[in-house]
Amino acid sequence: MSETDTRTTEETARRPGRERGREDGKFGRYGGQYVPEALMPAISELTDAYERYVLDNEDGFVDEFRERLADFGGRPTPLQRADRLSERYDRDVYLKREDLLHGGAHKLNNALGQVLLAKYMGKERIIAETGAGQHGTATAMAAAHLDMPCTVYMGERDINRQRPNVFRMKLNGSEVKPVTTGRGTLKEAISETMRDWAETVEDTHYVIGSIVGPHPFPVMVRDFQAIISEEAREQAIEKTGGLPTDVVACAGGGSNTMGTFAEFVDDESVALRAVEAGGSTLEVDEEAGVAPNSASLYAGDEGVLHGARTKLLQDSDGQIMESHSISSGLDYAGVGPELAYLVDEGRVEPVAVDDDAALEGFHRLSSTEGIIPALETAHAFGFLEEHHEELGERVVVNVSGRGDKDLDAAIEETDKRDVDGAPDMSMFTGGI
Amino acid sequence: MADADNSEAIAAAFADGPAFVPYLVAGDPDESASTAYVEALDRGGADVIELGLPFSEPIAEGSTIQEALVRSLDAGMTPDRFFAFAEGLDVDAALVCMTYYNLVYQYGSGEARSASNASGDAASTGPRPFVERAAAAGIEGLVVPDLPAEEADPLREACDEFGLDLVFIVAPTTRGDRLDRIMANVSGYVYVQARLGTTGARDDVSDQTTASLGRLREYDVPKAVGFGISTGDHAERIVAGGADGVIVGSALVDVVAEGASEDLPTAEVADRLEALARELKEGAERGYRSRTETVESA
Ligand SMILES: Cc1ncc(COP(=O)(O)O)c(C=O)c1O
């Protein structure tokens, strides 16, 4: 049995595996606080609140957070053996079922943590940005649960790709503001939310959706998401008698990845694989300023975006490229500074999976295991199919979210291709 | 401690009377019109001109300037073209470049990378090549709104080396240690943000400005107030309230935007800019006179 059982809440919050970046927001050369001066006071206030409530459990913050995650969120989520996939790949494949968390994705861990923190800080209003709509949905749910008004910024293009989530946010009483600049995806939505925050910092908290942005966001979001690996590690030991050989998670901004890796980083025997969106190709079009992928760990260069120094998809002048992925939740030109650092250190291996392989992964998990994954998550299963021979005997894959939100997009994308194992819908269309 | 007068041209602009500091995005809506517009501001009485070099993610900017940055980017603006643009200007005012840190940091990195591949060294990116090129183009100062004083050492050193001023923005919420740290790094002038939020023209002058100027009184650096100033009256009140200069961006960019959307002749837009510049400059001077008169009669 793992030693974590004897730890108090405070000790758990202060686990050594999560010391990186806490002191000064730096992960080697990455991280920092590159924001307009108007935001600096809010960021210092937040750093202070993070230290007091999240690290030191002041006023019982961590206890309340854990309790709400259990009762409202439905934690712990199971670690399930995937029998058909295990047979297919001839090794044990375990699924960490974050798709079963309330709202259908890992995003609630962070959203609930931050909205609760905002409440402890005495803030009166919540703003957030969203790509897939999954973080926006989680924030809207947490805000409704904790009775806080909430505004969510979302790129126009993403609104069109993710209508069910827009409806869910509105059902929960949040305002959804379309962002029309640029290509209308996550990058533009983050910029727009930062602008709102610059004007309203005094009474508003910005619930950033991943391990990106200025310190303390990358460490704080990691700490809220680390519950995934904390549970997965204990469950793996309990179920299988030992640590996994490999842990796999998809990476957009990287909150799912870091949450799934955090407790394993110090377990040197465990290989950590961050699966990025390879889009249509890993080539970039410098002239057009477009990267037809979102593989910033794999293909990006160091730079400064949205408050942190990290790996970015950018042209040689330093202009940020428009990224692409079949899944809007991975469609971002940057990535968390901690992941960038762990990749440079050789601790995390970045891998890219393209749109086609992700879509096949989507169909494969659905038909073999009865689990319809988010298109984001499907990238991890695309990786499994392509690289299983390189993996050890016991693999944990994080199912970061469920695919209900993606059915429209999946139908549209499936129609465009000849996808192995996809349902034949031809007899149901037209005619009648 | 920063050298407070790196650029003599900027120091001179604040030396006698209030400085009028207009901002336009270089290359908005295209380079030739933009050249005419910047020169019109100079004729209208600009002492320092802030030229925006567009970045794709301008998080400190409101919609007016954001759209101008997009127009300029769409017309093909790059850092190299920006420097050529600055070199081609015929103006008396001192030029300051306003941009975001990623562009400053990346400049020349392509060459550094290929050179380092050849030599086997690690790529040397950093702010120095950008500052060196800016100095050669006649730029006298830099404003980088997403670079906090804590991260500014490399840029500060490069600016000192090439004689550029590094201007920092102070927000209504900045005080205590942060204010000291910023003021220890600033040179040329300090950009006093008149109110919270992003850039954008407003109709009122906030009380926050007066409070900010009060907090800054003990620091011996010219104080230029910006964010939301759009008329001669505003400029007058701001300078009467103790500012050493006024920075005006969105109100001028609005004139350019209208010209672009209505397809007006460049000369007509330039005339409007010159007239608005003159109004602002005269407002600032009235404010200055009323201040000195008050002091004399006191
Ligand atoms: C289901 C799901 N998985 C993964 C991600 C990727 O985001 P991140 O890498 O920040 O966790 C998202 C983002 O919206 C998501 O909705």
Q: What is the tens place of the pLDDT at every residue in A271-317?
A: 999 999 999 888 877 777 788 889 999 999 999 999 999 999 999 99
Residues 6+ apart with CB under 8 A from A424: none
Assess A48–B contact: CB distance below 8 Å, yes or no.
no
pLDDT for position A184: 78
pLDDT for position A6: 44
pLDDT per residue as tens digits for the range A365-396: 999 999 999 999 999 999 999 999 999 999 99
What stretch of H or E contains A275?
Answer: strand A271-279
Preferred mutation among B78, B114, B150, B173 to probe A, highest tally of A CBs within 10 A: B173
Query: For every residue of B86-140, which 3-state class applies, written as one string?
Result: HHHCCCCCEEEEECCHHHHHHCCHHHHHHHHHHHCCCCCCCCHHHHHHHHHCCEE
Closest approach atom of ligand 1 to CA A328: 14
The residue of chain B nearest to residue A187, with distances taken between CA atoms, is: B57
pLDDT per residue as tens digits for the range A232-266: 999 999 999 999 999 999 999 999 999 999 999 99
In this structure, the strands spanning B139-143 and B165-167 are: parallel
Averaged pLDDT for residues B115-136: 72
Written as tens digits, the pLDDT of chain A (432 aa) is 344 444 455 555 556 567 899 989 999 999 999 999 988 888 999 999 999 999 999 999 999 999 999 999 999 999 999 999 999 999 999 999 999 999 999 999 999 999 999 999 999 999 999 988 999 999 999 999 999 999 999 999 889 888 889 999 999 999 999 998 877 788 889 889 988 998 888 899 999 999 999 999 999 999 999 999 999 999 999 999 999 999 999 999 999 999 999 999 999 999 999 999 999 888 877 777 788 889 999 999 999 999 999 999 999 999 999 888 999 889 899 999 999 999 999 999 999 999 999 999 999 999 999 999 999 999 999 999 999 999 999 999 999 999 999 998 899 899 888 888 788 777 776 544
**Chain centroid to CA B100:** 12
H helix intervals, B163-219 = 176-185, 207-216
Judged by DSSP in three states, A92 sits in strand
Average pLDDT value over all residues in chain B: 90
In this structure, the strands spanning A307-312 and A301-305 are: antiparallel
Q: What is the CA angle A19-A20-A25, rounded to 5?
A: 115
DSSP class of residue A104? S
* Calpha distance B146→A393 (Å, rounded): 47
Assess A25–B contact: CB distance below 8 Å, yes or no.
no
* Distance in Å, alpha carbon of A232 to nearest chain B alpha carbon: 37
Task: Indicate yes or no: CB of B193 within 8 angstroms of CB of A304.
Answer: no
DSSP class of residue A80? E
Preferred mutation among A29, A177, A195, A314 to probe B, highest tally of B CBs within 10 A: A195
pLDDT for residue B206 is more than 70: no
Name residues 99-138 of chain B within 8 A of A (Cβ). Answer: 100-107, 109-110, 125
Q: Which residues pair with A312 in a beta bridge?
A: A301
| Complex-level ipTM | 0.90
pLDDT per residue as tens digits for the range B248-264: 999 999 999 999 999 99
* Calpha distance B140→B7 (Å, rounded): 6
pLDDT for residue B134 is more than 60: yes
Q: Confirm or reject: Cβ of A114 under 6 Å from ligand 1.
A: no
Q: Is B61 a catalytic residue?
A: yes
* Distance in Å, alpha carbon of A198 to nearest chain B alpha carbon: 5
**Chain centroid to CA B209:** 18
What stretch of H or E contains A43?
Answer: helix A40-49
Q: Find the CB nearest B151 among A32, A44, A182.
A: A32
Averaged pLDDT for residues B274-282: 98
Give the CA count within 13 Å in the CB-facing half-sphere of A54: 29
pLDDT for position B36: 98
* Calpha distance A375→A409 (Å, rounded): 9
pLDDT for position A429: 64
Instruction: For residue B148, report the phi and psi dihedrals to the nearest 5 degrees.
Output: -75, 160
Catalytic residue among B31, B39, B61, B274: B61
Rounded alpha-carbon distances, angstroms, from residue B91 to A127, B10, B47, B270, B273: 44, 14, 10, 14, 15
pLDDT for position A171: 97
- Across B167-191, b (16+ Cβ under 10 Å) vs e yields bbbbbbbbeeebbebbbebbbbbbb
pLDDT for position A282: 86
User: Could you tell me the two tokens for B219?
Assistant: 């620091």
